Structure 1
Amino acid sequence: MGVVTVPVTLAEALTANSNDHRRITAAFTARTGLAWHTVTPAEYGRGTRLSVVIPARNTAYSLPAVLEALTRQHTAATIEVIAVDDASTDATPDLLTTHPRIDQAVRLETPCGAAAARNVGVHLATGDTIVFLDADMVLPPHVLADIAARARHNTILTGFRHNVPYQAGPDGHPVVPAGEPALEADHRVRWTPPAGVPMFYTGQVYPQPFVGRPLHDTQDFLHLGHGRMYHDWDLPRMVVTALVAVPRRVFLDIGGFDDSFGAGWGAEDTHLGAALIAHGCNVIPLRQARGWHLDPPNADAVWKVKLAGAVSRVALYRQLCEQPAPTGRAADLAERAESLLRKAATLR
């Protein structure tokens, strides 16, 4: 009788994977003469194909600035921009229809959530590397060159975000600060957890406030392999889809984002990170790849709604971690995306 192979759970697969990315960063420096975290000249991305996938729901307040920033990217890479409107009720569809930087845009019939919208975008994409970009993230001109020059078949390249409180300018659009966003504004770089409050992911409670530095203290996430933790943080949580680049082939093979998360906020990008890591990808930060994250006019109300569902979504993530690590699911992702596209409207 043959040996029965028991599928390895996603949680078990994570403990088997290192995140020692030094061979990748060293090879890049040897090939280009550039340090890994150096702002990249445009020509270094030549020959790379990036697909920027933007999910959008009621983001008319921020989209003009986001799209204009994409038109100003200095890169020799081939770039396509694909936007998926998640049944917005504001002017978002009109903006996506008319803006020249958009290559493809579709509008889903009913709200499905950012995870499903991103799946549809990747299904439509043709690039070798997918850059997930939120519809409220404004990028400095070098960021796509930074990503294009370093993208590989087995890397998750994480960027960072600097939240900007909403302030309307003379044109009615939010004011975007000049210069470069601050790296330390991202919670993966400078983290100040509250005292006496259970953390969402681990339930840890800290008796005193402190300043944590996940990026620095883990040596660019190097020490988070094999399921290791930094306080409440682990490697999958470093994958934040406000700005992250992933290999399209691997994304398709794991079936993309899990649709079980549905509409709402939180944990779907953590699960994506876990699935990609289990597939053998390294998570490598790009400290120079930082964007302005534009808060909506009603930011307090929006965050209240988001946080209300966070606990249940983290619980779903934990359940999915006890299931087999996803693989061989490209056909399933295509079927789910096509099902949504059959009812979707083509905007551009």
Structure 2
Amino acid sequence: MKASLASALEHRGNDHADHTQNFERTTGITWHAPVPSGWVDGRRLSVVLPANNVGYCLPMVLDALEAQTYGRHFEVIVVDDASTDTTAKTIATHPAVTAGLRLPAPHGAATARNLGTYLAQGETVLYVDADMLLPRTTVADLAARATEHAVLTGFRHNLPHGAAWPHTGPDLAADHRVTWRPPANTSLLYSGIVLRQPLDGRPLEHTREFRDLGHGRMYYDWDLPRMVVTALLAVPRAAVLDIGGFDAEFGRIGWGMEDTYLGACLIASGLLVIPLRQAVGFHLDPPDAAEQWQHKLGTWPATLARYRALLAQPARSGRRAVFTASMNSLLHSCEVLR
């Protein structure tokens, strides 16, 4: 009988020093420094955006992708999850979009990302939220460092709707994986632990760039799979296909944990999770951000319960054929926007 996913995670370390040092030796560029404008080395890359009612920000997000300084061509695939606003029109007309599809009914971001991954031609898939505005060097920085062995994670700076834009650009410290101040005397969402005193948490720093989270270790409410956030994430496409993509059930039952489960499966298959401090984007909040957040929190117990159940099952692998067949069938039901 195959070991459970939880057991497989306990056998996987995350010491990525050799990986980052090899990049530095080969290029002469430090791991957290931007590559020069026009950089052309690196793996072929496809950007995949799931989009649902993001008409308020999608044009800006695509403008930013069109303005990237990466000197090598990369495709942009946008999958509309049956939006009811101007999202589909933007996808159909914006010049940054290489391919655009519209699902016939809402399926959730997991399915939208899966379909984009299926269509992607690049060796690396860069998952970007459709409300994530990227600085000009971000795609090049991720593409330059992408390999078949690494999950590269960027960071996000939430910007409230209508707020003034900081002149200095997005701030790394704004991400909860970098600066984390959890409430005291409250059960934390993921682990359930209760902190009796206020904590000035620094997950990125205190875990030595996530290296100390290998072998199933925790930093209070954080473990290594939780560091895998698809707001900005570069992953080898072959590895995603092998595990069968994202688990679409998460999108059907609520919010959260689909990227955590993807991370757990990729870690179990032997990939390293490596942060890029210079890869930080603005996460543009919608006008009704507070209402959306409350709705998401209401569905969290269901998605967390599914994740816990999946941890008890064997780690997924060898699912490329099933994934391909499923996506090919879904593709035939989609409207081609571009």
Fold match, TM over 0.5?
yes
On the 8 A contact 1:46/1:75 being kept in 2, the answer is no
CA contact (8 A) 2:42 2:144 kept: no
Q: Return the letter of the residue paired with 1:326.
A: R
Query: Which of 9, 32, 38 is the matching residue for 1:14?
Result: 9
**1:156 alignment partner, SS class:** strand
CA contact 2:183–2:198 (8 Å) conserved in 1: yes
Match in the other structure for 1:234: 223
- Aligned counterparts of 2:40 and 2:220: Cα–Cα separation in 1: 36
Matched, 1:152 2:147: yes
State the one-letter code of the partner of 2:217.
R
1:172 match = none
- The answer (yes or no) to whether the contact 2:209–2:275 under 8 Å persists in 1 is yes
Q: How far 1:177 moved relative to its partner?
A: 4.1
The answer for the alignment partner of 1:59 in structure 2 is: 54
Deviates more, 1:261-270 or 1:57-66: 261-270
From 7, 18, 35, give the equivalent of 1:23. Answer: 18
- CA deviation after TM superposition for structure 1 residue 199, in Å: 1.4
Match of 2:66 in 1: 71
Describe the SS at the equivalent of 1:292: strand
| 1:46 and 1:78 in contact (8 A); partners too | no
Q: TM-score, normalised by structure 1?
A: 0.95
For 2:117 and 2:154, the matched residues in 1 are separated by 19
Q: CA RMSD in A?
A: 1.2
Q: CA deviation at 1:197?
A: 1.5
SS of 2:297's equivalent? helix
User: Aligned pair 1:191/2:180, yes or no?
Assistant: yes
Q: Which runs of 5+ in 1 are unaligned?
A: 1-5, 169-174
1:317 aligned to which of 272, 289, 307 = 307
Match of 1:78, SS state, is coil
Which residue pairs with 1:112 in the alignment? Answer: 107
Q: Which moved more, 1:36-45 or 1:272-281?
A: 36-45
| Residue in structure 1 matching 2:323, options 302, 308, 333 | 333
Task: State the distance in 2 between where 1:297 and 1:100 align.
Answer: 26
2:261 corresponds to: 271
Contact 2:64 2:133 in 1 (8 A): yes
Q: Aligned pair in 2 of structure 1 residues 176, 207: CA closer, same or farther (>3 Å)?
A: same
Deviates more, 1:244-253 or 1:43-52: 43-52
| Residue in structure 2 matched with residue 139 of structure 1 by the alignment | 134
Query: Where does the alignment leave 5 or more consecutive residues of structure 2 unmatched?
Result: none
Q: Classify the secondary structure of the residue corresponding to 2:152.
A: strand
Distance 2:315 2:149 in 1: 17
1:87 deviation in Å?
0.3
How far apart in 2 are the matches of 1:59 and 1:298?
12
What is the rounded CA distance, in whole Å, between the counterparts of 1:28 and 1:182 in structure 2?
Answer: 25
- Contact 1:189–1:215 under 8 Å retained in 2: yes
1:23 & 1:331 partners in 2: Cα distance? 33
Are the structure 2 counterparts of residues 336 and 179 from structure 1 closer, same or farther at C-alpha, using a change threshold of 3 Å?
farther
The C-alpha deviation readout for 1:302-331, integer Å capped at 9, x for no partner, is 101111101110110010011110000011
Q: Is this contact kept in 2: 1:164–1:294, CA < 8 A?
A: yes
TM-score, normalized by length of structure 2?
0.97
| 1:43 shift after superposition | 4.3
Question: Is residue 90 of structure 1 aligned with residue 85 of structure 2?
Answer: yes
May I ask how many residue pairs the two structures share in their alignment? Answer: 337
Matched with 1:171 is none
Deviations 1:120-169 (A, max 9, x none): 0000000000000000000000101100110000100000000001018x
- Compute the displacement of 1:47 (Å): 5.0
Which structure 1 residue ranges, 4+ long, deviate > 6 Å from structure 2? none
Percent of residue pairs identical:
53
The aligned counterpart of 2:210 is 221
